[in-house]
Amino acid sequence: MSRALAGADLLAAARSAPGFMPDDEGTALYAAACDVAVPGPLLEVGSWMGRSALYLAAAARESGRLVITVDHHRGSEEHQPGWEYHDPSLVDPEVGLVDTLPRFRRTIADAGAEDVVIAVVTRSEVLAPLWSTPLALLFLDGSHTEESAQRDQDAWVAKLAVGGTLAIHDVFPDPADGGRAPFGVYTRVLASGDFEELPGTGSLRLLRRLR
């Protein structure tokens, strides 16, 4: 049995965990998850090695919720051989593919968060048709190609409860700062008229579902 840590301890664990999310954005994600008023779980699409999951776990611990993480753990395009963020140590030699699941599980176990974080190992569009529980918070941070970002939007945004919060990571209005796919999701969702924007931090955008 893993030890169950308090929310503040999980925040500290998140800050030292492997990952790409800056602490100011992670703390903003934690605060947004704490502030959401409707019932339901917190679900993230795209987990890497678990850093963002721990920010959500800290909020879940304090609010009595659960965190669902959805990731195939084979890495995004930029993590594959020949790409900028490829790490050979993450390749499973038996199958020749990236496998971040062992590192993710170690991150969650070391932080004492196994009781609040439930990992689903599959592609998000495979799980989505099977999912029926309204979400209190949806965090989109999966693959950033146009096709996959649109697919995640189509699969999951409708599952957010009215009054729930949509968090989108790596939203960069200036193309020079990063990929455009998350920005496209953000602009499409906002243009739908079904959401209002909340204060964001850095590349993290937050929106509340109105209807």
Distance CA 201, CA 32 (A): 11
Among candidate residues 72, 73, 79, 144, the one labeled active-site is: 144
Tell me how far CA of residue 24 lies from CA of 9, 11, 14, in angstroms: 17, 11, 12
Extended strands (E) in 57-107? 67-70, 91-92, 97-98
Residue 169 annotated as catalytic: no
Measure CA of the first residue to CA of the last residue in the chain; give whole Å: 41
Considering only the C-alpha atoms of the chain, give the largest distance between any 2 of them, rounded to a whole number of Å. 48
Would you please indicate which residues are annotated as catalytic (active-site) residues? 144
